[in-house]
Structure 1
Amino acid sequence: MTTPLTATRVFFAFPRLSDPSRHRDYNEWHQLDHRPENLALPGVVHGDRWVRSPDCRTAGTGDGWLRDVDYMAMYWFAEPAKQSIRQWKELGDTTLQQGRRPDLRWTARPLMGIFQPVRGYVHPRVRISAAALPFRPHTGIQVLVSEVEDAGGPEAEALFDWYDRVRIPRMLELPGVAGVWSFRSEAVTVEGADGSLKPLSGSTIRVTLAYLDADPLGVAAELAAREPGWTAAEPPPDLACGERVLLSGPLRTIQPWQWDWFDQQDSRDEVGFDEPRTRE
């Protein structure tokens, strides 16, 4: 049986809605149709999804392809991964033919594709395995997505060594971080200037995903407060191999039917408010 510890392939997608009024429609489709069908496949070990809500957006940064993304989704595939991925793609084609892909009308995925798990880490207080970490309930994630040039060179190796020995262990020291998984891209597509998707070539996308059991905004604030001192004793290694941060910050775990992060109440109502308010 495949577990996250033995899986060799995962899928990541970073959706962006072109129509802001469709967030509730998108979440209803994804949570009540798309995700259950995917999780029912024998080749899908696990799947999850998170939202980059407005408060999370202000607590993080985005650049390039991921500057304006609203969500993040991932699926772990059972072995043999090639067969599992083929069945997963066939399901997508089937639901499209059944008219069950309304998201295609107002959703873009500027970066998506197949990644390889690199390593899992768990804080000792959690007392579970790295294989069980994705299944553990969590409040959200702290994610770092970066593009690394010449990922097979010595400078990149030094960067990855720093992540493994310094950055990730220090992330585990943060209150609220239960564990971390890291991934590298294998075959991904990115959005071109004309909006079309094209294969990424010449660089590698790295994803560092920390699972949280505390308020994601609180963890992000603590990370920001501590991070400047982490590299004080040595030059930042990302400068040596051209690492570019595409997305860094917290995302919230999506709860059933709680899809109101982007809702806005009309400010010109009978109560006389001058500014739009977030609906409670």
Structure 2
Amino acid sequence: MEFPGTPSDRVPEVLAAGRGDITTAFVSMATRHPHGTDAEYLRWHTLDHRPEQHRLSSVRASLRLVSTPQCRAARAVTGNRFDAVDHVMTYFFADLGGLDAFNELSTALGDAGRKLALLPHVERGVYGLQTKAAAARVKVGADVLPWRPILGAYLMIEQGTAAPADLSAVDGVAGVWSFESLRVDERLAAAPPGQLFTYCFLDDDPVAVATRLRAALERRWQSVDVTPLFAAPFHPVIPYEWDRYVP
């Protein structure tokens, strides 16, 4: 059932109240836990490590995602360096400079004995926000999508800069943000230049939405000058149900 009224993105007075200040995303993609204790790791990260990041004024939102075997089977792109990805953590920043305080906090928490060994990373990237779009049916504007509860996410990594134009029209996709990789200190992140990262916020089962997205993605990859590197559905972590979605 749709909520009443006009979608925010069509109401200039709503948009004039504020467009949100997120400009940058730090994305950490990792493998499953080497000892199979993914649920225990998610418990620590969600209850201890992740909340601490929100003491930083530049951290505006965060999302943690997990791939299950069903999610893996629904991937549209496989056979490259991203195959091992089962965990994705994203922090949304107001500005690129916020990453300095992010690193300082990480050091302080480590010095206090508050950090577990991190999951083996596949790739860490810092990305600048390029485009935002929300499905009209959800009513809330594209600016606030990271705060709207999700049932899943569909992530794409492509080589190229052509932002997706029509994915928010697919049933179950509440909206889409796209980011372009930024060159930063390699000790922080090493996503190569010219890499496009697309975040589809889902309000339906991610595996089901992955099936619906397939035709739109195939059309995109046939008609737009981008090379798909990764396209996969994920579940969000469910607090206190740590083993509900694990690799």
Whole-angstrom CA distance in 1 between matches of 2:78 and 2:19: 27
Q: Check whether the contact 1:10–1:77 (CA below 8 A) recurs between aligned residues.
A: yes
Unaligned runs of at least 5 residues, structure 1: 149-155, 191-195, 264-280
**Alignment size in residue pairs:** 228
Distance 1:140 1:262, change over 3 A: closer
Task: Answer with 30-39 or 252-261: which moved more.
Answer: 252-261
Q: Among 6, 9, 34, which residue is 2:49 paired with?
A: 34
Matching residue of 1:256: 239
Q: Does 1:72 align with 2:88?
A: yes
The CA distance in 2 between the partners of 1:42 and 1:58, in whole Å, is 38
Superposed, 1:157-168 pairs within 5 Å as 160=162, 163=163, 167-168=164-165
What TM-score do the two structures reach when normalised by structure 1? Answer: 0.73
Q: Structure 2: which 5+ residue stretches go unaligned? A: 1-17
Change (3 A) 1:36 1:62: farther
Task: Indicate the residue corresponding to 1:103 in structure 2.
Answer: 117
Partner Cα separation in structure 2 for residue 179 and residue 53 of structure 1: 22
d(CA) in 2 for partners of 1:117 and 1:235? 24
Q: Given that residues 152 and 203 in structure 2 are in contact (C-alpha distance below 8 angstroms), is that contact kept between their aligned partners in structure 1?
A: yes
Q: What residue in structure 2 maps to residue 139 of structure 1?
A: 151
The yes-or-no answer on 1:206 pairing with 2:196 is: yes
Q: Deviations over 1:124-170 (max 9, x none)?
A: 1111121211100110111111233xxxxxxx5xxx1xx4xxx432x
Contact 1:168 1:180 in 2 (8 A): no
Q: Which residue in the other structure is 2:13 paired with?
A: none
2:44 is paired with a residue of what secondary structure?
helix
Highest Rg: 1 or 2?
Answer: 1
- For 1:95 and 1:225, how far apart are their aligned partners in 2? 45
Whether the 8 Å CA contact 1:172–1:178 is kept in 2: the answer is yes
Work out whether 1:123 is the aligned partner of 2:106: no
Residue of structure 2 in register with 1:89 after alignment:
103
Whole-angstrom CA distance in 2 between matches of 1:200 and 1:76:
16
Q: Does the 8 Å CA contact 2:125/2:189 hold for their aligned counterparts?
A: no
1:59-110 deviation digits (Å, cap 9, x = unpaired): 103443311111111111124x41x221111111111112222133xx2112
* Aligned mates of 1:64, 1:252 — CA distance in 2: 22
- Partner of 2:223: helix, strand, or coil? coil
